[in-house]
Amino acid sequence: MSDCLFCKIAKKKIPSSIIYEDDSVLAFLDINPKTKGHTVIIPKEHSENILTIKKESWVHLTQVIPKIARAVVKASDSDGFNLKVNNGESAGQEIMHTHVHVIPRKKEDHYVASGHVSYGDDNEKMSYLEDIKSTLDKS
Ligand code: AMP
């Protein structure tokens, strides 16, 4: 869809901090992370949510999740992660393009469902980006 933000990210019409890409999936750092390393995984092809995504796209996306989550958790020195999929406005979906949140977690990370944390600066963000990407490359 031409006016969809995540379609524009998928087509590289607007920049994002990409950590993983294949033919049909893109994963990038969330611009307003709930915790540091918070990653969003999207199918490149537009669909509104998991009720309308093509079955094969959803199956492929879910197969990629463990690989990305493992790298996100390891690179952010976390103990676990929340996997979150908001479907529909009432469920908190703001971007109407199917996506899965991978939110790395540590004990006492003060994660709250609303609000977000900030990276100290762009260097810290880039360091998360590079660490996750290099951890992915080694997996
Ligand atoms: P949801 O509320 O499930 O629709 O989540 C949408 C997510 O997309 C939010 O966590 C936003 O912070 C994130 N987001 C919005 N714009 C961008 C962007 N340009 N780059 C990366 N993440 C974004």
- Assess whether the C-beta atom of 31 lies below 6 angstroms from ligand 1: yes
Tens-digit pLDDT profile for residues 9-21: 999 999 999 999 9
Tens-digit pLDDT profile for residues 110-136: 888 778 889 999 999 999 999 999 998
Active site residues: 99
- Assess whether the C-beta atom of 92 lies below 6 angstroms from ligand 1: yes
Residues 72/90, Cβ–Cβ less than 8 Å: no
Sheet order of strands, 100-105 included:
18-21, 25-29, 39-43, 100-105, 80-84
Cα 29 to Cα 17, 34, 106: the distances in Å are 5, 11, 18
pLDDT higher than 90, residue 1: no
> At CA 59, angle to CA 43 and CA 116, rounded to 5?
50
Residues 13/121, Cβ–Cβ less than 8 Å: no
Residues 102/83, Cβ–Cβ less than 8 Å: yes
- Assess whether the C-beta atom of 86 lies below 6 angstroms from ligand 1: yes
Tens-digit pLDDT profile for residues 63-102: 999 999 999 999 999 999 999 999 999 999 999 999 999 9
pTM: 0.92
